[in-house]
Amino acid sequence: MKLKVVIFLTILTSFCRADEFFISGSVDKTLRYWRISDGNCLRILDHPSFVSQTVFTTNNEYILTGTTAPEQALRLWNIRTGELLYTFFGHLSCINCIAVTKNIKYAYTASGDKRIGYWDIENRTLLKMIKAHEKGIMSICLSRDETRLLSSSGDLDQSIIKIWKVPEFMCLKVISGHKSNVSSVSFMPDQEHIITSSWDKTMKLWRISDGQCIRTFTGHTDRINKAEISPAGDYVISASSDCTLKMWNIEDGTVIRTFTGHEGSVSSLSISSDGSYFASASYDGTIKYWNINNDRSIRTFWGHSREINDVDMDIGNTSFETQYKTDIKPIGLKIFPNPFSDVLNINSDGEKKVFDITGKLFAELGKGNRKLNTSSWKKGLYFIKTCNSSFRAVKL
């Protein structure tokens, strides 16, 4: 009997603006295009390096992806056909963030090489590359009128946010106040305030005119990897390495809801255009789809074989109430054959439980027992939960 051990891991997601699909990029070097209504993966796009960033264009026809070393490039794809249209080179390190103009003619990229790139997408050329920070740039955000650009980093002893006039790249203001790297920056809908998230476990609301911090949001127990503001500007959602997401009231800084369910660090999120749903990506290798009014996820997407770095979304206004039959969430996806033995070795001395695909308890192993005889098992997918709450998915 051939034995395969399957483990899942995922990092990044983005909604398509039509709110019916989303894309995810992962350390498994793939980008996946998902349909939300049934959870099907419609297309897989291979990359030569880890996929560090993804974004839909405004017409939903194209996507831009950023990659890590050794390629460290910006890639333009036709999502409907899966065709790679062009690869832009110029950065010397991982691309951490991408911002695209509404007319899809230009794009800005932020990189670990401390530089911001300005690209002519239509004519396939690099227009400008500037050193913007003293350390790697973690996030950028383009203003609604596309005349200002936010950038964030962890410069020297301070964590810096810069506001630029673009495309001239004139620095208009420098803001500091976080105690660690600033992981994300976003304009509020009024374009006069910004929200930042940081590895110091906080978010901050800033007034642009004088650079003053108006409010600090506290509550996470580990670094915040991303924050995204709702389209109406009434709430913000944060994704954290404490394995949770939180929905905050921007007016008073209180937590409205905490979303639990991921088994690993939550690396990214993307809110639907109507503000009713969002998707989250995690190092546990899953993407989860949520209704903002319910702290339990509506759907879980599995398929990436490594951590997921980003997600961009296209979620419709349809409510999907289908729940999985089991709450088991395997972490990571890694398959290896074991054709010579019907015995599965489990690297855990504590208690172990085995569940079938429906979530029904299939077998239990006591402490000290580290071997499972699978010779009598039926073909199918089984989940092994160890004492440290990690999962392995075993396919026979």
Read off the tokens for 73: 């490039």
Q: Name the pLDDT band for 26 (thresholds 50, 70, 90).
A: confident
pLDDT confidence of residue 378: 65
> Phi and psi at residue 198, in whole multiples of 5°?
-145, 160
Pick 315 or 272 by higher pLDDT. Answer: 272
CB atoms within 10 A of CB 177: 19
pLDDT confidence of residue 359: 56
Lowest mean pLDDT among 205-219, 248-262, 341-355: 341-355
pLDDT confidence of residue 286: 81
Read off the tokens for 17: 């603006």
pLDDT at 34 over 60: yes
Q: Name the pLDDT band for 343 (thresholds 50, 70, 90).
A: low
pLDDT at 326 over 70: no
Which tens digit of pLDDT belongs to each residue from 286-322? 888 899 998 888 888 775 544 444 444 443 332 222 2
Average pLDDT over residues 191-219: 96
pLDDT confidence of residue 342: 53
Measure the CA–CA gap between 75 and 375, rounded to whole angstroms.
47
Measure the CA–CA gap between 191 and 172, rounded to whole angstroms.
15
Read off the tokens for 213: 């911090």
Average pLDDT over residues 184-202: 96
Measure the CA–CA gap between 17 and 30, rounded to whole angstroms.
21
Adjacent-strand bridge partners of 382: 394
Average pLDDT over residues 143-169: 89
Amino acid at 151: S
In the sheet that 193-198 helps form, which strands lie side by side, from edge to edge? 182-187, 193-198, 202-207, 212-218
| H runs (alpha helix) in the chain | none
Beta strands in 68-208 (DSSP E): 74-78, 83-88, 95-100, 106-111, 115-120, 125-131, 139-142, 148-152, 159-165, 170-178, 182-187, 193-198, 202-207
Most confident of 81-85, 238-242, 292-296, 379-383: 238-242
Read off the tokens for 292: 């903002």
Average pLDDT over residues 12-31: 69
Average pLDDT over residues 231-238: 95
CB 266 within 8 A of CB 222: no
Average pLDDT over residues 359-364: 67
Amino acid at 38: D
Pick 225 or 321 by higher pLDDT. Answer: 225
CB 194 within 8 A of CB 206: yes
pLDDT at 340 over 50: no
pLDDT at 368 over 70: no
> Phi and psi at residue 276, in whole multiples of 5°?
-90, -20
| CB-count exposure of residue 222 (10 Å: 0-12, 13-18, 19+) | middle
pLDDT confidence of residue 318: 29
pLDDT at 272 over 80: yes
Q: Which CATH architecture has domain 8-313?
A: 7 Propeller (2.130)
pLDDT at 330 over 70: no
Domain assignments of the chain as residue spans, ordered by start: 8-313, 343-395
pLDDT at 7 over 50: no
Q: Name the pLDDT band for 177 (thresholds 50, 70, 90).
A: very high
Residue with tokens 């071997």: 371
Which tens digit of pLDDT belongs to each residue from 99-139? 999 999 999 999 999 999 999 999 999 999 999 999 999 99
pLDDT confidence of residue 163: 97
CB 182 within 8 A of CB 166: no
H/E stretch holding 313: strand 305-313
pLDDT confidence of residue 117: 97
pLDDT confidence of residue 306: 42
Percentage of the chain lying above the pLDDT 90 cut? 45
CB 196 within 8 A of CB 226: no
pLDDT confidence of residue 338: 32
Q: Name the pLDDT band for 346 (thresholds 50, 70, 90).
A: low
CB 279 within 8 A of CB 289: yes
Region class of 104: left (phi > 0), else alpha (psi between -120 and 50), else beta: left
Which pTM was predicted? 0.74
Instruction: Output DSSP code: residue 242.
Output: T
pLDDT confidence of residue 281: 86
Amino acid at 170: M
Measure the CA–CA gap between 330 and 252, rounded to whole angstroms.
37
Average pLDDT over residues 341-362: 58
Closest among 230, 282, 235 to 261, alpha carbons compared: 282
